[in-house]
Structure 1
Amino acid sequence: MGKVALVIGATGLVGSHLVKQLTKATHITKVVTLTRRPVNYHSDKVINHVIDFENLSQYSSLFKADILFSCLGTTKRTAGSVDAQRKVDFDYQLHVAQLAAQMEVEHYLLVSSSGANANSNSAYLKMKGELEDAVKALSFKRISIIQPSLLLGKRTNDFRFAEKLGSVLLPLLCVIPGLKKYRPITGQQVAIKLSQFSMQSGHGVEYFTLDALFD
């Protein structure tokens, strides 16, 4: 029997590619996307709901699914401050995960970051690590945490200079022994792996780092 997939961050670099992958996936019968603005999809398989992330509890009924893909994220530059970025990267994502757990979603897949650590001195890696720790305490039967390095690909209305620079320099640096594991990966590659991971059997908490994403 096919599964219902729920996607947040569906308009982002990974999420937009993921929705396309899921429309072609034979194990998925319906894809529900929760976005801040309406999105039109060229597939009857996809249902879009526009929601207010400040009032997520009002939409709890939309969280009834088999699989949740959490691809939501922003940058300090786009958000305007670290606190505003944390609201998206931590608060919204955790609230979504809590609602999904309450609705008995079985499999939760989180796009996190390489180097995520709740004790990191980096505000970004710290919030990513704190989110990982928080969702692991929830009642999902299976949690898959994906930790890509620099994500490459065309973003809609969101030019990121640091990522553009990294996309040029990192591939050159990663030929050095020991640095290969930090090589960049495209949003499409991550999306393909997310779809594949959701098709495989598993239980408990599992991590997928760059080596697994490139296999």
Structure 2
Amino acid sequence: MAGNHTQRIALIGATGLIGSNLLRHLEGRPLLSLARRASLPGREGWREKVGPMERWPALLEGEQVDVAVAAIGTTWRKVGNWEDFDRIDRHGVVEFARAAHLAGARQLVVVSSSMADAGAKNRYLKIKGQMEADVASIGFDRVDILRPGLLKGERQERRLKEGLGIMLSPLLDMVVPKKLRSIEAATVAGAIAALAGREGEGVTIHHNPDIRALAAETETGS
């Protein structure tokens, strides 16, 4: 069943690779974007509040939200240390989720990473896993965690290792498990659109094949 298109969505990450693709699926849906800089295209029913990430929870005060969507993400190479990576990819997401829950959101849809694990030795996977555990404990009726593989799509910046991975992805996809294969950011965005507003309860983790199936629902309008 496709998501409820009348429910009010609060979004972080509208300028990112996934978020920018998601916007085209949200035409006609009530949307509030929180961002560090003004960038949201003008659409009827869309609003944007701008401020530093630390201010995003305060920007949700007094708002009414049904669905929270967190599509932000950075890299260690971009921030230069694990403390800032943790501050953005874990605490930034968690604090937004808590504020959205206080604003009435019953559902959270969040982008994580394949192989995320709070007990992992790898710092990236550990932080992503800790984020998942944190948001799952907030009290949402429904939490949808998307774990895509290597994201493909047009970025404003090109990351060297990521670029090499994308170049090799056709070969890698032939040998790695399905849930670890590369995936278009537009496909992940389609899955988020299908999930946003969906009924049901509990925490569900969506791996690569699940994400593709959800995105197909969006394209067919089911």
TM-score, normalising length: structure 1: 0.91
1:3 maps to which of 7, 14, 17? 7
- Cα distance in 2 for partners of 1:63, 1:170 equals 42
- Cα distance in 2 for partners of 1:97, 1:131 equals 11
- Cα distance in 1 for partners of 2:137, 2:168 equals 38
Report deviation, 1:121.
1.1
Asked if residue 93 in structure 1 is aligned to residue 97 in structure 2, the reply is no
- Cα distance in 1 for partners of 2:138, 2:58 equals 20
Aligned to 1:19: 23
Report deviation, 1:70.
0.4
Given residue 11 of structure 1, which amino acid in structure 2 is its aligned partner? T
Report deviation, 1:62.
5.9
Aligned to 2:202: 204
Report deviation, 1:77.
1.1
Change in 2 beyond 3 A, CA 1:57/1:146: closer
Aligned to 1:167: 166
TM-score, normalising length: structure 2: 0.88
- Cα distance in 2 for partners of 1:200, 1:78 equals 34
Mean Cα deviation higher: 101-110 or 47-56: 47-56
The answer on whether the counterparts of 1:5 and 1:66 sit within 8 Å (CA) in structure 2 is yes
Mean Cα deviation higher: 108-117 or 51-60: 51-60
Mean Cα deviation higher: 48-57 or 203-212: 48-57
The within-5 A match list for 1:124-143 is 124-143=124-143
Residue deviations 1:3-50 (CA, integer Å, cap 9, x gap): 1111101100001111221115xxx3x111110001140422321110
Report deviation, 1:199.
4.5
Report deviation, 1:128.
0.4
Partner secondary structure for residue 68 of structure 2? strand
- Cα distance in 1 for partners of 2:99, 2:198 equals 24
- Cα distance in 1 for partners of 2:106, 2:115 equals 26
Given residue 173 of structure 2, which amino acid in structure 1 is its aligned partner? C
Change in 2 beyond 3 A, CA 1:51/1:63: farther
Aligned to 2:79: 79
Report deviation, 1:201.
2.4
- Cα distance in 2 for partners of 1:160, 1:70 equals 22
Aligned to 2:112: 112
The answer on whether the counterparts of 1:19 and 1:31 sit within 8 Å (CA) in structure 2 is no
- Cα distance in 1 for partners of 2:203, 2:88 equals 23
- Cα distance in 2 for partners of 1:57, 1:14 equals 21
Indicate the percent of aligned positions where both proteins have the same amino acid.
Answer: 30
- Cα distance in 2 for partners of 1:65, 1:197 equals 15
Partner secondary structure for residue 3 of structure 1? coil
Report deviation, 1:52.
2.0
The answer on whether the counterparts of 1:63 and 1:99 sit within 8 Å (CA) in structure 2 is no
- Cα distance in 2 for partners of 1:89, 1:139 equals 20
The alignment of Structure 1 onto Structure 2 pairs a total of residues equal to: 209
Change in 2 beyond 3 A, CA 1:55/1:200: closer
Gaps of 5+ in 1: none
Report deviation, 1:58.
2.8
The within-5 A match list for 1:156-195 is 156=156, 158-176=157-175, 179-195=177-193
Partner secondary structure for residue 61 of structure 1? coil
The answer on whether the counterparts of 2:66 and 2:197 sit within 8 Å (CA) in structure 1 is no
